[in-house]
Structures are given as structure tokens and as C-alpha cells.
Amino acid sequence: MKFLDLAKVYIRSGGGGAGCVSFRREKFIEYGGPDGGDGGNGGDVWAEAVEGLNTLIDFRYQQHFFAKSGQHGMGSQMTGRSGDDIVLRVPVGTEILEEDEETVIADLTEPGARVLLARGGNGGWGNLHFKSSTNRAPRNANPGQPGIERTIWLRLKLIADAGLVGLPNAGKSTFLAAVSNARPKIADYPFTTLHPNLGVVGVDGREFVMADIPGLIEGASEGRGLGDQFLGHVERSNVLLHLVDGTAEDVAGDARTILTELAAYSPVLMEKPRITALNKIDALDDDTIAERKAALETEIGGTVHLMSGVAKLGVTEVLRALWTEIAPTRVTDEDQPDAPWQP
């Protein structure tokens, strides 16, 4: 299945049915009077977050969603049938934006969350509604209200506990494949990863979700490389894992590049807890490892973990460090307060 995280959609709610002008005409009924029914209401357009989806690919093949209009009213006081609603089923974590791609209509972060995007038009009144003591035979009825037509954008931001960031070929996909059942494409050239990947990671009997995004390069915030189009997928993460290629000549410069791009994209990313790891230590000798670790710690001003995704060295320690940051955000059943007793 192809990955798609941005889609433009055209929606329109149903129009209301027109009211009916009708009079009761039956044999032996001298004063029948008006009996025109009301028109039915138009269908609404909703968006609902559902589990089991992780891409917006369905909206590449269908971009137009029009709800049914209500039926017109009929004689004998019969109201027209209301139009059927349309529900856009989107993955959990989908943002719904106005046509300007900036104004957020809704952010569906919970399964089952729903939002009304366009309300259907009300049905018009039939002439029965206009009957009064001074107007016994009204010959007018209301038309139904038109539906609402609008253009919206759907933008998916994957929901993961931890997000992987780093330069291309820093070993992010290799690490994700080593610690989970995810099978991202792995090769020895830059930008092997072209779309985000999710994996469920386990450590010490605990599980959490990790997201791997395509690598960043200098100037990504200005659109270079794959740009910053995928950074939104780690924006919801509780902690970031910054992988630095230990075989690079300037590990401090590489780390500085990533931190600069994160800051240029959003201050929110810079405020998140961050675990930094020097990767590919299996290809280095002890002196080189010590030298580059010291340079990296000086650059970031914090602790640097040593690991190798291929050889699985130090991987458990890194996962435990990630879980330390994730654990406070988890609310277990034991932490939930007892519900008040109700008769």
C-alpha cells in the first residue's frame, strides 16, 4: 500500500427538499384544506477517525464527496425523505484544514472522534404550515435550503511514542528493523527511506510505537532534499531519538545540522525530550569512538549513547532511555481514579 499523508478533498452537503403545495380532495369532504408536506433535510458530511488506517491513499482515487439531497414534500401531509449522510473515514491523527492549508478545522487524535464538516440544508415547509385563521387556503411553500460546498485538506500526522531523526544513512531504518517487526527498505545510498515507517518496539515487557521518517539535510526547512514535509509525523511524539552516524568525519557538525533544521521547522520539536545516540560503533575502534563521543557530547551539551543497529550493541540501553521519557505519558488502568458509584 502506498503512503499518502496529504490530500485535497471537495465536499458538499445535501440540499433540503422543497415543501409541497397540495389540497385535500376527497369525495364527500367539502372542506379539505391544505395538506402539503415538508421537504426532507439534506445529508450531512462528517469526518471520523477509525483504527486500522495509516495512510490517506483512498483519497487519491476519490476526491469528491457529495451527500444526498432531501426529497420534496408530497400531498397528504407526507414529509420527504431526508438525504443520507456521508462519512469520510480517516486515520487517527488526521488534521482537517481549510482550503488555505493553515486554518485547522479539527484534529482527530482519538479513535471514533467525529467532526461535522458540512451540515445539510433544512427542508422547506409545505403549505400546511401556512394555514391560519385568516388564510385557510395558502398556496405558497418554502424551497429547501441549499447544501454547503467547501474544499478541505486532510493532513495525516502519525501518532507515535518515539520519533527517529537524523541525516540520510544515519541508520534509522536499520535500527527500526532491528528493534521491531517493521521492514523498511535499507540500502547504502541516501534517501532510501521515502515515506514514514511505524514499528512496535518492546523492551522489558513494555511496548511503544516508533516512527522513522526520511533523513534531513542542511536546508531541509527551505525545501532541499525531501524537505521538512515529513517532520509533522514526529511532531506528536513524546521523545525524539537523534541518531548520528559514527563513521562520519564531523559528528558534531552533523548533529548541529539536524538541530538547526528541527528549530527552523517548529520550536515544539526542540522542546521535546531528546535521546542522542552515536550509531555504527561496530565499524570504529575504541579511540575513535571515545573521540567522537566526546565531540558530540560537547556539541549537544548532554549524554550520548553508544550503539550499533546492525550488531545490536547498546540497543537495549537506548530503548530503556526512550521508555524512561515515554513512561510518564502513559496512563495505566491502575492510575485511573475509581469512578464514583452510581445507583
Question: Which residues line the annotated binding site?
Answer: 166-173, 191-195, 212-215, 279-282, 308-310
Interatomic CA distance for residues 303 and 275, integer angstroms: 8
Could you give the 3-state DSSP secondary structure of residue 21? coil
- Label residues 150-180 b or e (16+ Cβ within 10 Å = b): eebbbbbbbbbbbbbbbbbbbbbbbbbbbbb
Interatomic CA distance for residues 279 and 215, integer angstroms: 15
**Residue 277 in contact with residue 244, Cβ under 8 Å?**
yes
**Residue 199 in contact with residue 212, Cβ under 8 Å?**
yes
Interatomic CA distance for residues 35 and 131, integer angstroms: 10
Query: Residues annotated as binding site for Mg(2+)?
Result: 173, 193
Query: Residues annotated as binding site for GTP?
Result: 166-173, 191-195, 212-215, 279-282, 308-310
Q: Edge-to-edge, what's the strand order for the sheet holding 162-165?
A: 197-203, 206-212, 162-165, 239-245, 274-279, 304-306
Helix H or strand E encompassing 328: none
Grid cell listed for 41: 433535510
Q: What is the DSSP letter of 42?
A: P
CB-CB neighbours of 45 under 10 Å: 28
CA-nearest of 20, 10, 11, 13 to 145 is 13
**Residue 269 in contact with residue 232, Cβ under 8 Å?**
no
Interatomic CA distance for residues 233 and 230, integer angstroms: 6
Q: What is the DSSP letter of 333?
A: G
